[in-house]
Copies of this chain bind each other. A is one copy, B any other.
């Protein structure tokens, strides 16, 4: 081998200049470098390398994409996705250094889990901390989720995961000793009981500071529906003022940093379309613990096209929920309800709001099924709140609804949140008729939700669909089964096309 030595020039790698690409990649920061850039060449980076990007205001871990052709970037530029840009507090042209990411401690823990270890409290905290900070890629988060799926986290680990998820965000505290809450697992289309239950409970003197989410995969979340008739984006102080005055509220929890790890994990679960019970329990209970709830009613709709499809699954889920609730200091009451078909008539934010308002106003045309379910849930909440038991609790709920106390409380809460307004109606509507005479045998919750989403829900608040039938309804050929609502002709046409290609949305029999 050669003997001559050449001492290296003291050349450090030149920094790259920040360039905002405007690409939204959610919580996973992405940085783009040119393949022929000095940095890529010197480091031997290739696509999907995990890199550390340092700027004047901090550093991030990001996934590298390599620009192999084209003129998107200059050789000394680093293109940043929106999350990379914001997390770095970047400015155009800001100098950045890009290097190999240090090994992730969180991923060491995930690998241990993949290969069969049980995880402790610190392990979960470490993994979730990195997930929230955007230091784990979606691929890594997927590995974590699968490593925990199918009972691969046991009951103790589920408790630890729940505690870690709760601790990773803000935790609200209330002066009242009892704070009641409710949650429905795997919502049915149209099953918008929450505003009714809050109104009943608060009218009876219970404290129910309800935070809800916007829809992720469904045509409407509770926050989407409530947003059609009052303000939901209250900050914590404003929320406290409403609850102090009225005993209850109906606000969007998204900006309050309640169990932020849950939001990150759920996005990746959606990409995989998986749900595992440990993750589900930790997700539900961490949000409740973070919201400061002490007593929670859990409703599990059971049905062929609902999220939970067998009584054994529902019971197992309820057992794990109860165990975890006990271990984390929440009093939990579960109910398994009928999840065989949609509830009420509207599916979509404003359309569901119309149903909710009709029930609260005791409108004779209000959907009886929605009213009945809301009363069931409310009576469970009343029991948890210690006001009455069994039949007496149900009668208490009914009385509050029938004599107008619930409606007046509802109006007062809306006023306190910023005023009550009409939810509105979509301009473009199209009835979908029965192809033949018969009686409704089944309604597919999933396909129906899909149709409502294609019509524009929840982004278009008045979009969705309005059901004219339920299971057992007898229809003539040509009679309307449901009406599609949209805010643009294009969306209406798109939903209609889907409906025409999916006659299984509503099955008729002789």
Contact = CB atoms under 8 A, between A and B. Distances in A.
Interface stretch (A202-210, A258-266, A268-276, A295-303): A268-276
Interface stretch (A8-16, A175-183, A226-234, A387-395): A8-16
Given A4-B429, A44-B459, A273-B111, A67 B24 contact: yes
A44 B459 CA distance: 7
A263 to B, nearest CB: 13
A116 interface: yes
Contact of A10 (B268, B345, B493): B493
Given A24-B47, A139-B138, A9 B149 contact: no
Interface stretch (A140-148, A190-198, A377-385): A140-148
Given A44-B453, A272-B140, A490 B69 contact: no
A456 interface: yes
Contacts of A486: 8
Contacts of A21: 67, 70, 72
B147 A271 contact: no
Interface string A467-492: 00000000000000001001011111
Interface string A108-119: 000100111000
A138 B140 CA distance: 10
Interface in A424-454: 425, 427-431, 453-454
Given A8-B492, A12-B493, A490-B42, A149 B114 contact: yes
Most central of A24, A26, A429, A489 by chain B CB within 10 Å? A24
A120 to B, nearest CB: 19
A11 to B, nearest CB: 5
B8 A48 contact: no
A26 B489 CA distance: 39
A47 B71 CA distance: 24
A327 interface: no
Contacts of A13: 490, 494
B22 A67 contact: yes
Contact of A26 (B5, B48, B138, B454): B48
Nearest to A455: B44
Interface in A38-58: 38, 41-44, 46-48, 50
A252 interface: no
Contact of A65 (B23, B42, B488): B23
A6 B149 contact: no
B431 A5 contact: yes
B116 A150 contact: yes
B138 A48 contact: yes
A70 B22 contact: yes
Contact of A23 (B5, B32, B137): B32
Given A24-B35, A65-B24, A82-B68, A137 B5 contact: no
Contact of A150 (B2, B41, B114, B459): B114
A285 interface: no
Nearest to A431: B5
Interface in A130-161: 137-140, 142-143, 145-147, 149-150
Contacts of A137: 271
A128 interface: no
A69 B150 contact: no
A510 to B, nearest CB: 29
Given A25-B65, A48-B271, 7 more contacts: A2-B425, A6-B428, A8-B430, A8-B493, A22-B72, A48-B138, A138-B138
Among all A-B residue pairs, the 6 with the closest Cβ atoms: A22-B70, A22-B69, A146-B146, A9-B489, A8-B492, A24-B68
12 contacts: A1-B354, A6-B429, A8-B492, A9-B490, A10-B493, A11-B493, A13-B490, A13-B494, A22-B70, A25-B47, A44-B459, A107-B272
